């Protein structure tokens, strides 16, 4: 019998209710997902459907109301998750390198080790010459690279990315997508990646999980059979176009539902 494989991340029947007026707000409704070790899973869905909430639950930043998230820890001492946000939220008084080593520093990693790891991650994102610069001296794209290096410096079991490229201009975003493909191939990390862009999800992901309009439920999971290594040229393939159409048809319904509900509450 083949050995039983347990997923790297097991999200089981996760619901989140935010307390507030009345019965509160149901943000996520019994979402279940399994993510394999080394998988790049993209999460898409209309605005307000609970994508960030699901990432925060995975990161342990907010508690789920019911259900469970289990992350399989393979390396003792490694943090389970690290998060990359849309806004890089760098510490302005710290140099680039000191921002990158911030997580390991807080975990008490010895100075020599954390700086070695920090420099390695800076090299990986192509920022070695800027180690001593301050955040205000960097462009948006460079700041986002620092944000990615900072998360990777923690060497987490799972990397959580919440629209990490959304604030960038289109050209910088395209470059960063290629960079992410390269970095992911090099490190083999398990990634959960939130994006509004189907194109981006198809370029990067092994599978795409689609959430419904609020309350977020898992609507469908699309395998991305586009081969690896993958580059920008994949966007020109007929398979890519067909997948865009197929996913958009499902996502469109949810976006329209969200818009109708927003109309309703405004009236």
Ligand X SMILES: Nc1ncnc2c1ncn2[C@@H]1O[C@H](COP(=O)(O)OP(=O)(O)OP(=O)(O)O)[C@@H](O)[C@H]1O
Residue 47 binds which of Mg ion, ligand X, none (CB < 5-8 A, kind-dependent): ligand X
Tell me the C-alpha distance between 84 and 145, whole Å.
10
Query: Given the complex with Mg ion, which of 16 and 101 has the nearer CB atom?
Result: 16
Query: Given the complex with ligand X, which of 51 and 117 has the nearer CB atom?
Result: 51
Q: Give me the least distance between CB of 86 and ligand X, in Å please.
A: 8
Q: Give me the least distance between CB of 255 and ligand X, in Å please.
A: 11
CB 41 within 8 A of CB 206: yes
Residue 25 binds which of Mg ion, ligand X, none (CB < 5-8 A, kind-dependent): ligand X
Residue 67 binds which of ligand X, Mg ion, none (CB < 5-8 A, kind-dependent): none
Element (H, E) at 219: strand 218-223
Residue 53 binds which of Mg ion, ligand X, none (CB < 5-8 A, kind-dependent): ligand X
The β-bridge relationship of strands 66-71 and 40-44 is unpaired
Query: Given the complex with ligand X, which of 133 and 255 has the nearer CB atom?
Result: 255
Q: Three-state DSSP class for 228?
A: coil
Query: Given the complex with ligand X, which of 175 and 255 has the nearer CB atom?
Result: 255
Cα–Cα distances (Å) from 102 to 123, 124, 127, 151, in that order, read: 17, 17, 16, 9
Give me the residues that bind Mg ion (CB under 5 A), please: 52
Helices (H) and strands (E) in the chain, counts: 8, 9
**Number of C-alpha atoms within 13 angstroms, CB side, residue 97?**
16
Q: Give me the least distance between CB of 256 and ligand X, in Å please.
A: 15
DSSP secondary structure code for residue 223 in this structure: E
Query: Given the complex with Mg ion, which of 15 and 52 has the nearer CB atom?
Result: 52
Tell me the C-alpha distance between 64 and 14, whole Å.
6
Query: Given the complex with Mg ion, which of 119 and 196 has the nearer CB atom?
Result: 196
Looking at beta carbons, which residue is closest to Mg ion?
52
Q: Give me the least distance between CB of 240 and Mg ion, in Å please.
A: 25
In sequence order, what are the beta bridge partners of 209?
43, 221
> What is the rounded (10 degree) CA torsion for 6, 208, 202, 241?
130
Q: Give me the least distance between CB of 45 and ligand X, in Å please.
A: 6
Residue 214 binds which of Mg ion, ligand X, none (CB < 5-8 A, kind-dependent): ligand X
Give me the residues that bind ligand X (CB under 6 A), please: 18, 25, 27, 45, 47-53, 214
Of 198, 187, 111, which is closest to residue 149 (Cα–Cα)?
Answer: 187
Q: Give me the least distance between CB of 137 and ligand X, in Å please.
A: 29
């Amino acid at each position: 019998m083949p050995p039983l494989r347990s997923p790297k991340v097991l999200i089981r029947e996760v619901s989140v209710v935010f307390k507030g007026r009345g019965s509160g707000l149901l943000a996520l409704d019994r979402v279940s997902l399994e993510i394999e070790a080394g998988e790049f899973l993209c999460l898409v869905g209309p605005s307000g459907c609970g994508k960030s909430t699901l990432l925060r639950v995975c990161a342990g930043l907010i508690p789920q109301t019911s259900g469970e998230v289990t992350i399989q820890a393979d390396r003792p001492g490694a943090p389970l998750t690290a998060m990359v946000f849309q806004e890089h939220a760098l510490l302005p008084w710290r140099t680039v390198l000191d921002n990158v080593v911030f997580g390991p520093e807080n975990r008490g990693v010895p100075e020599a080790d954390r700086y070695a790891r920090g420099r390695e991650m800076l090299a990986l994102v192509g920022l070695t010459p800027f180690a001593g610069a301050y955040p205000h001296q960097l462009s948006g794209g460079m700041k986002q690279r620092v944000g990615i290096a900072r998360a990777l410096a923690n060497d987490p079991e799972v990397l959580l990315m919440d629209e990490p490229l959304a604030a960038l201009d289109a050209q910088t975003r395209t470059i960063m997508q290629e960079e992410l493909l390269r970095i992911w191939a090099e490190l083999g990390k398990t990634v959960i990646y939130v994006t509004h862009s189907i194109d981006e999800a198809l370029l990067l992901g092994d599978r795409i999980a689609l959430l419904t309009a609020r309350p977020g439920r898992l609507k469908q999971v699309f395998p991305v059979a586009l081969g690896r290594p993958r580059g920008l040229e994949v966007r020109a393939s007929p398979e890519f176009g067909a997948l865009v159409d197929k996913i958009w048809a499902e996502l469109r319904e949810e976006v329209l539902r969200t818009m109708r509900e927003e109309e309703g509450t405004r009236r």
